Amino acid sequence: MRDPRFTKLAKVLVNYSLEIKKNQLVLINADYIAEPLIKEIYLEVLKAGAHPQTRINIPDLLEIFYKNAADYQLSYLSPIRKYEIEKIDAYIGLWGDSNTKALSNVNPETQAKARKAMRPIIDLMNKRELKGELKWVGTCFPTLAYAQDAEMSQEEFEDFVFGACKLNFSDPAKEWKKLSNFQNKIINFLKDKKEIHLKGEETDLTLKVTGRKWINCDGHLNFPDGEVFTSPLEDSVEGKIKFSFPACAGGREVEEVRLEFKKGKVIKASAKKNEEFLNKMLEMDQGAKYVGEFAIGTNYDIKKFTKNILFDEKIGGTAHLALGFSIPQSGGKNKSVLHWDMICDLRKFGEIYADNKMFFKNGKILI
């Protein structure tokens, strides 16, 4: 039986997020478990007069690769992947893990080598996006594994996902435009500011943003969306921060992460759980210890931490940093294979200042 919510989601992704046009080539990259949504998106792409192309992933292949590939295989970049990114007009990514812990016992150094091999693909996507040649969007298919991580039933998690995506409204695109307008107000306030000061539990952090662009994330890249972000000046981050929720990456949960910065670089890192993994990730390359992104979450339809960064970084009333790679659209220059988002919950106690003026307090925007 077709779920009408998947039909609605497909329509929003194809017509609002990507604005697919006739004769465009659209790549749908998805885990096989997302089959119901894949079919709906495939149909909507056809209705738009475009050409759908699918790449369907099956479970366990990545684990097999990481555990059995030789170094030269880990470092290999398929020319087919490169050609694909050169030719497509739009990219839709559907994440649907059936086991979110499948890579927990994979050597992080192995994962790092494979990520480095993919760097040219990411750079190519960003280059084509900046030129207006490529659009992309990513979303989550609500699997049982994600529901278990979020400590919800399958039905509860599905309702959570569709609510976060504003699909409960008759016209979701209209609601995303409302959020876009709200976020534009924040950006207009911040666009000429020079310094951001973040205060919270065991947190006192400053970063400079002079000349950097604030980005309005309103459902055109991630779905659901709901954040404004920029890239701080690479050598400007100073102070300390404690992250409220586990930082999840590579099948691992790193709990109670605390970082201390000097001249933009992490000089001290600790965690209650998986501290060794944290430090190995920070040694991945020269850019991994620098902040590539600072963001404020604005999606107040997302209230609960789910261990899924697509949703968690958007929680209304939070802020997050991403260690590593800077998003070029914001003017950031930091290069890294790593881009690791970590979230600071400011809803009970937290303040954010821009050039010494408080504009955020206890989860609420004050402008």
List pLDDT tens digits, range 234-270: 999 999 999 999 999 888 999 999 999 999 999 999 9
Pairing of strands 364-365, 357-361: antiparallel
Segment among 44-58, 185-199, 324-338 with least mean pLDDT: 324-338
Average pLDDT over all residues of the chain: 96
Residue 162: inside a domain: no
| Judgement on whether residues 335 and 205 belong to the same structural domain of the protein | yes
pLDDT given at position 116: 87
| Judgement on whether residues 137 and 270 belong to the same structural domain of the protein | no
| Judgement on whether residues 76 and 125 belong to the same structural domain of the protein | yes
| Judgement on whether residues 216 and 325 belong to the same structural domain of the protein | yes
Residue 156: inside a domain: no
| Judgement on whether residues 345 and 234 belong to the same structural domain of the protein | yes
Residue 279: inside a domain: yes
Q: Which two tokens stand for residue 19?
A: 């604005």
The CATH number of residue 110's host domain is 3.40.1830.10
Q: pLDDT above 70 covers what percent of the chain?
A: 100
> Any residues with CB less than 8 A from the CB of 158 and at least 6 apart, and which?
5, 142, 147
Q: Residues 321-346: what's their mean pLDDT? A: 95
Residue 32: inside a domain: yes
**1: pLDDT strictly greater than 80:** no
**Residue 292: burial class (beta carbons within 10 Å; 0-12, 13-18, 19+):** buried
- Mark which of 141, 164, 194 sits at the end of a domain: 141
| Judgement on whether residues 47 and 190 belong to the same structural domain of the protein | no
| Judgement on whether residues 125 and 234 belong to the same structural domain of the protein | no
pLDDT tier at 360 (50, 70, 90 boundaries)? very high
pLDDT tier at 112 (50, 70, 90 boundaries)? confident
- Mark which of 141, 160, 180 sits at the end of a domain: 141
Amino acid, single-letter form, for residue 330: S
Q: Residues 202-215: what's their mean pLDDT? A: 98
| Judgement on whether residues 88 and 226 belong to the same structural domain of the protein | no
pLDDT tier at 72 (50, 70, 90 boundaries)? very high
Residue 99: inside a domain: yes
Separation in Å, CA 70 to CA 60, 224, 300: 17, 37, 45
287: nearest Cα among 127, 131, 112, 107: 112
pLDDT given at position 337: 87
Separation in Å, CA 356 to CA 243, 298, 316, 363: 23, 21, 22, 18
| Judgement on whether residues 306 and 254 belong to the same structural domain of the protein | yes
31: nearest Cα among 98, 115, 101: 98
Residue 153: inside a domain: no
Q: Which two tokens stand for residue 182?
A: 């709200």
pLDDT given at position 191: 96
pLDDT given at position 200: 97
Residue 167: inside a domain: no
Q: How many domains does the chain have?
A: 2
pLDDT tier at 229 (50, 70, 90 boundaries)? very high
**302: pLDDT strictly greater than 80:** yes
Angle at 92 between CA 16 and CA 246, to 5 degrees: 100
**311: pLDDT strictly greater than 80:** yes
| Judgement on whether residues 187 and 286 belong to the same structural domain of the protein | yes
pLDDT given at position 299: 98
- Mark which of 102, 123, 141 sits at the end of a domain: 141
Pairing of strands 265-270, 291-297: unpaired
59, 143 in Cβ contact below 8 A? no
Segments forming the whole domain that contains residue 116: 4-141
pLDDT tens across 173-205, in order?
999 999 999 999 999 999 999 999 999 999 999
Residue 157: inside a domain: no
| Judgement on whether residues 231 and 334 belong to the same structural domain of the protein | yes
Q: pLDDT above 90 covers what percent of the chain?
A: 92
| Judgement on whether residues 125 and 196 belong to the same structural domain of the protein | no
pLDDT given at position 133: 97
**227: pLDDT strictly greater than 70:** yes
pLDDT tier at 92 (50, 70, 90 boundaries)? very high
pLDDT tier at 3 (50, 70, 90 boundaries)? confident
